[in-house]
Structure 1
Amino acid sequence: MRKISRVPYARWQEDRATHLVVLLVDGGSWDGPVSWRKPVTFGLSFGLTPIAIAWVPSYLRNGVRARTVLLGLFAADCVLEVAGITVQAWRHMPSHFNMETPFDTGMSMTPAVGGGGLVAILATLSAAAFRRRPGGPPGMALALRAGCGNLLVGLLSGAAMIARGVYLTRTGHQLAGYASTASLRPLHGVSPHAVLVLPVLACLLAMTSWSPHTRVSVVRAAVGCYAAAVAAALVWAVAAY
């Protein structure tokens, strides 16, 4: 089974220590679209994000039944995404932008279709945070709304990566398709996790003796710092495009 040439992945967002353990056990390459680093990274991200998405809606004022359905679909989508990427790593084939065989095409399109499902599900949950003020301790409403906003930025950047890569692959530029996603990876990696980081900060501040005004001010400062990091990643993406 022919392997497609590897291209460097951006290393800033990936858990090298965990990947190294997998590498020592299974062998294989450290870099590239056929390495185990990709399923390990996706597994970690799709492990943390469902924790946040299962916890955050408890502060949103939406129906329990609708919330349960959305969370169930989200969990299934996460499993599908990681499973597809892992299967391709096990086969030593790229999981994204790989149209070499009908099976590879199906596996490659799975993350794209799953990504569309994630956008729809998370956009629905995020809309609830802006439609009605979330509950929780002081600063939680701001943390949730800022986290959901950043999450949507991450989803849209991921959609842009997939759209660009699929276009280049289908026009005969597969290696360019892999390389084209590099500029957006920092933005795609940083922004989604605000939905966990900022609400956790609001909960931790609730355990202090600080006044509500002070706690809200700290959350507001954290939101500003996170926004600056996301803006820097966006500027870098535009400059590197």
Structure 2
Amino acid sequence: MALLAVVALGGLIFDDRILVGAPIWAKPFKFAVSFVAYCMTLAWMLTLLPRGRRLAWWAGTVVAVTGLGEIALITMQAIRGRQSHFNNETAFDAAVFRTMGLTIVVLWLAALVIAILLLRARILDRATAWAVRLGSLIALVGTAIGFVMVLPTPEQRASGDDRGIVGAHSVGVADGGPSMAVTGWSTTGGDLRVAHFFGMHALQVIPLLLLVLVALAPRFARLRDPRVRLRLTLVASSAYAAVLALLTWQALRGQPLTHPDATTLTAAAVIVLLAGAATWTSLRHSDGRTAPTTTPESSS
């Protein structure tokens, strides 16, 4: 994936072809970088398992192999100048897209196996245990949002044509319209890729937050209490899940991320207030005792 990211970056520089409103090498580049982060984090999580490592190794291998197959097909379509996702214009394109769908289903099931193993594992540091458990579960939900994208849009169902492009990233507008720089997310309608991206990367964000808490523990007495770190991890995970739900709801209503309405802003404010109150309560209920700082690495 790292090597492919370099190749795709070269494609972005030297290949000026545009497909569905974006540089043709943008998708291989973004997928490669995302898979690098995803697989490295998952590999670290596997080291935390005291038991079931053989099954976890096989599940991790399935994730790596199916991820490789997915990105290979995406790159092949980019080289051909064809749309990789939702493309049923020819029998070959349809077969490629069906194969991509199969690889993602298998990848998701393998990630589910790893999530179950993490849920059952007795990891010494409870904050670390719940950071990796909840991060992996939220990531599974974020990945599953991709399955919603392959469903025909209302406009496609109304046309009654089962060929051509079936499914879309955008809601309420056609793919390829005005979009945000770098991400390519729609600025005129809903875009399910926002929630998809946000949810998938809970796998990195929540454990990283715990690492920050551990790093700050020597300077802040309350963070030395492992119970406080656990409570803050649970608060952060709950807030992350709530934001994921809000982003999904916003996209399904055909609303761009950049133009939230009053309802979306109110819901976001409620999440912020509740998360802030829960954080304050978590920090306040500490006996102030200095406890040994257990890092995620030492718990393995």
Normalised by the shorter chain, which TM-score bucket?
Answer: 0.7 to 0.9
CA RMSD of superposed structures (Å): 2.9
Amino acid at match of 1:117: V
Structure 2 distance, partners of 1:172, 1:34, is 27
Matched AA of 1:229 = V
Q: Distance in 1 between matches of 2:76 and 2:8?
A: 16
**Partner-residue secondary structure (3-state), 1:139:** helix
Q: Which amino acid aligns with 1:152?
A: L
Q: Is the 8 A contact 1:34 1:89 kept in 2?
A: no
More helix by percentage: 1
Give yes or no for the alignment of 1:172 onto 2:186. no
2:82 matched to 1:93?
Answer: yes
Query: Which structure 2 residues correspond to residues 20-169 of structure 1 after superposition, within 5 A?
Result: 22-29=11-18, 32=21, 35-130=24-119, 132-164=120-152, 168=156
Among candidates 215, 237, 240, match of residue 251 of structure 2: 237
Instruction: State the one-letter code of the partner of 2:253.
Output: A
* Structure 1 residues 69 and 23: CA distance shift in structure 2, 3 A: same
Whether the aligned pair in 2 keeps the contact of 1:164 and 1:180 (CA below 8 Å) is no
TM-score relative to the length of structure 1: 0.79
Count of residue correspondences: 222
8 Å Cα contact 2:87-2:97 kept in structure 1: yes
1:7-26 equivalences in 2 (<5 Å): 22-26=11-15
1:169-226 Cα deviation digits (max 9, x unpaired): 9933645633556532111111011112212322343343322123223323321331
Segments of structure 1 that go 5 or more residues without pairing to the other structure are 1-17
Equivalent pair of 1:97/1:177 in contact (CA under 8 Å)? yes
Is 2:60–2:111's contact at 8 Å kept on the other side of the alignment?
Answer: no
Separation (CA, whole Å) in 1 of partners of 2:52 and 2:102: 27
Q: Residue type matched to 1:151 in 2?
A: A
TM-score with structure 2 length normalisation? 0.65
Residues 164/47 of structure 1: CA separation in 2 closer, same or farther (3 Å cut): farther
Q: Distance in 2 between matches of 1:214 and 1:110?
A: 46
